[in-house]
Amino acid sequence: MFSCDKSDIIENAAESPAVSSRGGNVGYRSAALSGLAFGALLVNAASKPVLWSDPGPVERLDLSSGPGGAALRPQPPFRFLREMAGGTNRKLEVRDARGIIWRVKFGAENRSDAFSSRVAWACGYYADPIHIVPEGRIEGVHGLGRAKRSVKQDGSFRHAVMETTERRYRYMAHRSWAWNQNPFVGTHELNGLKIVMMLVSNWDNKDIRDEKNNGSNLGMLEETRGRRKSTIFYVNDWGESLGSWGRHNITHDRWNCAEFSGQSIDFVKGVRDGHVQFGFSGQHTEDFMSDITVDDVRWIMKYLGRIQDAQLLAGLRAAGADEKEAACFAGELRARIGQLLYLIKTTPKAVSRR
């Protein structure tokens, strides 16, 4: 360890131009994949693949509101549209007072999803606006299946999360991608996303290879601006984070600071042949983290390292953490970020060359 001080289709963020981190003057880094069959992952050749955009002054971001800002919060009254099938969560679709369509989920993973996606967003990765709604009422509820466990006959509910996709994006149904086959393999942007996943112990890093049996947690969005089209690659589920990582159900957990804290000592284990060794394990562990270099850590720390303690605490509270939980998680996240900082300060740049 490196030790340091603990100091379904919705047509409802913003893309900031950025210079590729590895040469060229293009806005986003992409790589040619000649001869690679994407299958369900196919991207229109006229559409620019996008994984990351410059988040701007990270220390000024509002992690309490998250993507979309304070203006994009669910506004009652809520009108029932349908119950959504599939997945492990009980889900509804509702329309709020401003006509925005929200996916309403009930389940233990919601707090992890709400917070961890905010951290990813602060580092420049796309994340849907997600808000915890402690209680409320949905008008016109009828014919519920699984969701009747969470919504009473009068439409009242408690402890829900509401998630939407901003209107300028179109969710690409039945499209996914793989960690080891995408336009960004070998870039700081992709490896930075992997580091964020491991930072929050998101062991459930399923991809298109798992689609048939278990579903994928990697999604795609389409954005059209005039004649320009972009395909956004993103992680669409951060729910199994902030607990313990592991390959099997008996060894992993979510939103459990005691478990999260217990594994912090093994977050960064060292450097071997220029590649960073992490203690993390999850889905596709080997090809998920085998190519991460110290230079990748240096790159993501330009954004991750600027997140302040007050921002972490605000994001945790917005996700439903009580003060004890917020303090615990924020402290452990700071310790893990500190390990990354210690790594780049103590490792000569020459070690990280590919």
How far apart are alpha carbons 66 and 118 in whole angstroms?
6
How far apart are alpha carbons 160 and 76 in whole angstroms?
14
Please report which confidence band the pLDDT of residue 253 belongs to, taking 50, 70 and 90 as the band edges: confident
At 251 the pLDDT is 53
Burial code (b: 16+ CB inside 10 Å, e: under 16) for 149-178 equals: ebbeeebebeebbbbbbbeebbbbeebbbb
Q: Which of 190-204, 209-223, 308-322 has the lowest mean pLDDT?
A: 209-223
User: pLDDT of 201-243, one tens digit each?
Assistant: 999 999 999 988 888 999 999 998 888 899 999 999 999 999 9
User: pLDDT of 94-127, one tens digit each?
Assistant: 999 999 999 999 866 689 999 999 999 999 999 9
| Predicted model pTM | 0.85
Q: Name the nearest CA neighbour of 49 among 190, 250, 260, 252.
A: 190
At 100 the pLDDT is 95
Most confident of 8-12, 206-210, 346-350: 206-210
How far apart are alpha carbons 138 and 94 in whole angstroms?
8
H helix intervals, 123-246: 188-199
At 252 the pLDDT is 62
Residue carrying the six token digits 């890093």: 205
- Residue 111 · residue 117 · CB < 8 Å: no
- Give the total residue count for the chain: 354
